[in-house]
Chain A
Amino acid sequence: MTAERFLSAACGALAAAWLLAASPACAQASEQAVKTAFLPKFARYIELAPAAQPAAGQPYYLCILGRDPFGQQLDRAAASEVIDGHAVAVRRFADASPAAVGGCHIAFVAGANDQATVAMLLTLRRQPTLTVTDARIGKAHGMIHFVLADGRVRFEIDNAGAAKRGVTISSRLLALAVQVKQ
């Protein structure tokens, strides 16, 4: 039996919907694309202190501080999220000057180097912002820190650090973390 015939036999046996829902990946998404999909979704799985929540009709601000590895795809991904009537809007800043980043609900931070990222995270500590990082090396870790685990995008969560800033992270998100600092 040739590969093609084996294949068509195998596929014919399956309802199309089930096939779509059950065949594993042969083409893989990029690491960046998966992070892009994750970021706006974080807004749904955190709870900010009432004073820090967006006002009615206002969006959650997702800020990209420093280097932007996501580009326009992030804006499109954000546009598909609506959380309790709040949209998610992307803002980009070269650095974490307090005046600029005051309104950020979520901040992805990627400085030119570890030191720069640490400095921006320090600035953000003054406010109730969920900080997210992904540098593979160095000490700069936000409340959520993306890692690659067995070829999948996962994260470490600093739940204690988040709680100190008044950011409550939902148990659904915590359940996906490879490591949770309590």
Chain B
Amino acid sequence: MRANCCVASLLLWAIPVAAHADDDQQQNLSSLSIEELAQLPVRSASKAEEPLSAAPTALYVITEADIARANGTSLPEVLRLAPNLNVERINATQHTVSARGFSGYESSNKLLVLIDGRSIYSTLHSGVNWDLHAPLLDDLQQIEVISGPGGTLYGPNAVNGVINIVSKDAADTLGLLARGTAGARERTAGARYGVKLGDSASLRIYGNYVDRDDMPPGIGPDVDDAIRGWQAGFRADMAGDASHLTVQGDVFDAKAFIAPGDGNTGYNLLGRWSRDLSEASALQFQAYYDYSERRSTSTADRLEVIDFEGQYNLRSGSHALVGGFGIRTTRDEFVNNINVFQLDPPRRRLWIGNGFFQDRFALSPQLSVIAGIKLETSSFSGLQVLPNLRLAWTPSDKALLWAAVSRAVRTPSRIDRDLTAAGFLAAAPDFDSEKLVAFEAGFRGQPMRSTSLSVTAYYNHYYDLRSARFIGSPWPVQLGNDLEGNEYGVEAWIGQQVTPWWRLRGGATWLHRDFRVRPGGSDVGGAASLGHDPSYTLSLRSEVTLPGGFTFDAGLRAVDALENPHIPAYVEADARLGVTVAEGVDLYVTGDNLLHARHFESNDPSRTQSIERSIAFGTRLKF
């Protein structure tokens, strides 16, 4: 054990910043003995990292190492690490995650979220039901978080941001891993086993179990918001000379307790095949099937998705071209036995198509132009043309200055068009896509050797946002597109390697919103579709690697108040102490929301419960 630490420390001295392995660092590695080199933990090379680091977007990457040291036991809790996201825990089961505003359980509907290429936003309401997704966090390679429209290359619904969750190649998860956590209100357990199948194929299987207790009442009704369930799955990777095939799938089942019969069930299967056609060109196809069912308080929604996508990349001279298409069909069903709200028709098949083309053109070694166009259509809306233009200037290999202008739309969801309530709410067959024109500019780089910095400013103009108007005398109400307005804001984050064993990270967002009813329009819904956003969020994390296999991490976050209804601003802290007691045996204790006995993060009047201070113990074993 001591030997391991000694070796690793030399590396630390050698590599103060995770970024570029520069000359001094290489020299220091060279000064190690072969035994020391053999004990160094390494970052594995990832093909995906490179083009992204040069991507002129507001990109934050949560790495495998960050996830391994995170307190969170669910995807949205881990997403708190991304300073450009606003994560609100609503209750034991539900979270809302948003970027650049529109936060709220129903209003956060402008994100594209992908898990290994599978889109998980629901076409029922365009939001994400985070409780349907419980992958084994230890198997994740990285999570890329883009705030803003995200460019041409991502599929439908990438309006305010993209969250791209990528799991590890099966070849990187060989052997047995078992993990578990236990706290007063939550218990989780997971295991994974990976094997090599011959020279060029690998397979892993995993299972994950969560048991989250009911939270004490908040501003919402005192219901039993507990959830208990499991998710299991597999991923197989087969690599040929120039081709790669991935087949993966998951199945899950969870019980919820607000009403008898509540819970989630689902399964999915995905195949992805890529082939390098030459040194300069590559082709990829992907197809998946996804079924999920959510039963909640005598309502049930079922969604079946079939999706097929293709992409072709070509490098030619100073051009890097990407073209592709996606076609998705969904079949849904919504059953409501508790009140008058119904989807009309209750079952419907939708078709969503998109095509895109992008050229990254190097005007000079330092200056690139990225011009892209995306066409989006659904059986609900006509063809939308979504151009985006980006400029990337790299005055040195330590700095990127970029600017972008993009158009993005959120195509109508089933609820936008087909939700009815006899006498109160009429269907809105003419509900149009919500639209955004976004202007962004940013800097990303290493102003000093041990400092990384990203600053982005944006100005968003939205129009045709969802509103509600009276069409009778006065009832019923019908959804319309009468809200519009502007947002501007700043997102910034900084990483500072203070000493070889101490890293600090800071993050800040500031958002100003200015929305109104379109001249000649009306909104009787209290601008519900705009959500409720804190005007600022601040975060600070300290990550310390101590001698003897100990790690100590602590974080502070401050979030401004929400209004209507009022939720006070809050400051909360979390901490984690970990120790590697033997090779492959990690023990840790985590504390969350340490500063207050309880606080609220969401102001959803029908769902919000009290979030309590919590302590948990965990272990991770690798064989």
Within 8 A of A (CB), among B32-47: 32, 34-35, 37-45
- When C-beta atoms are compared, the residue in chain B nearest to A14 turns out to be B547
CB pair B544 A152 closer than 8 Å:
no
Decide yes or no whether B6 CB sits under 8 A from chain A.
yes
**A23-B12, A81-B30 known; A138+B547 contact, CB < 8 A:** no
Minimal beta-carbon separation of B449 from chain A (angstroms) = 12
CB pair A25 B8 closer than 8 Å:
yes
Query: Which single member of A21, A24, A30 contacts B42 (CB below 8 Å)?
Result: A30
Minimal beta-carbon separation of A57 from chain B (angstroms) = 22
Decide yes or no whether A53 CB sits under 8 A from chain B.
no
B514 proximity list for chain A (CB < 8 A) = none
CB pair B500 A27 closer than 8 Å:
yes
Query: Which single member of A10, A23, A113, A151 contacts B242 (CB below 8 Å)?
Result: A113
- When C-beta atoms are compared, the residue in chain A nearest to B44 turns out to be A31
A-contact bits for B498-516, CB 8 A (1 contact / 0 none) = 0011110000000000000
Central interface residue in A36, A37, A40, A172, by most chain B CB within 10 Å:
A37
A31 proximity list for chain B (CB < 8 A) = 42-45
Within 8 A of A (CB), among B1-21: 2, 4-6, 8-18, 21
CB pair A176 B34 closer than 8 Å:
yes
- In Å, the complex CA distance between A76 and B241 comes to 31
Decide yes or no whether B97 CB sits under 8 A from chain A.
no
Query: Which single member of A20, A33, A172 contacts B9 (CB below 8 Å)?
Result: A20
- In Å, the complex CA distance between A173 and B34 comes to 8
A2 proximity list for chain B (CB < 8 A) = 554
**A29-B14, A38-B37, A139-B199 known; A6+B500 contact, CB < 8 A:** no
Minimal beta-carbon separation of B285 from chain A (angstroms) = 20
CB pair A37 B30 closer than 8 Å:
yes
Decide yes or no whether A87 CB sits under 8 A from chain B.
no
CB pair A152 B542 closer than 8 Å:
no
**A38-B34, A40-B30, A148-B42 known; A29+B11 contact, CB < 8 A:** yes
Determine the interface band of chain B, counting residues with CB < 8 A from chain A.
35 or more
Size of the A side of the interface (Cβ < 8 Å), in residues, is 52
Query: Which single member of A19, A27, A137, A139 contacts B547 (CB below 8 Å)?
Result: A19
A25 proximity list for chain B (CB < 8 A) = 8-9, 11-12, 40-41, 545
- In Å, the complex CA distance between A151 and B45 comes to 11
B232 proximity list for chain A (CB < 8 A) = none
Query: Which single member of A4, A18, A37, A139 contacts B542 (CB below 8 Å)?
Result: A4
- In Å, the complex CA distance between A77 and B23 comes to 9
Within 8 A of A (CB), among B535-572: 542-549, 551-554
B613 proximity list for chain A (CB < 8 A) = none
Decide yes or no whether A58 CB sits under 8 A from chain B.
no
CB pair B12 A27 closer than 8 Å:
yes
A37 proximity list for chain B (CB < 8 A) = 26, 29-30, 32, 37
**A31-B45, A137-B199 known; A23+B546 contact, CB < 8 A:** yes
A172 proximity list for chain B (CB < 8 A) = 34-35
- When C-beta atoms are compared, the residue in chain A nearest to B175 turns out to be A150
Known: A18-B547, A37-B26; 9 extra A-B contacts, CB below 8 A, are A3-B552, A3-B553, A20-B12, A24-B12, A28-B65, A31-B42, A33-B25, A37-B32, A172-B35
Chain A positions near chain B (C-beta within 8 angstroms): 2-4, 6-7, 10, 14, 18-34, 36-38, 40-41, 45, 73, 76-77, 80-81, 112-115, 136-139, 148, 150-154, 172-173, 176
Chain B positions near chain A (C-beta within 8 angstroms): 2, 4-6, 8-18, 21, 23, 25-27, 29-32, 34-35, 37-45, 65, 171-172, 175, 199-200, 239-242, 279, 497, 500-503, 542-549, 551-554, 575, 580, 583-584, 622
Q: List 11 A-B contacts (CB under 8 A).
A: A3-B544, A7-B544, A21-B10, A23-B9, A23-B501, A23-B547, A26-B501, A29-B14, A29-B15, A33-B26, A34-B37
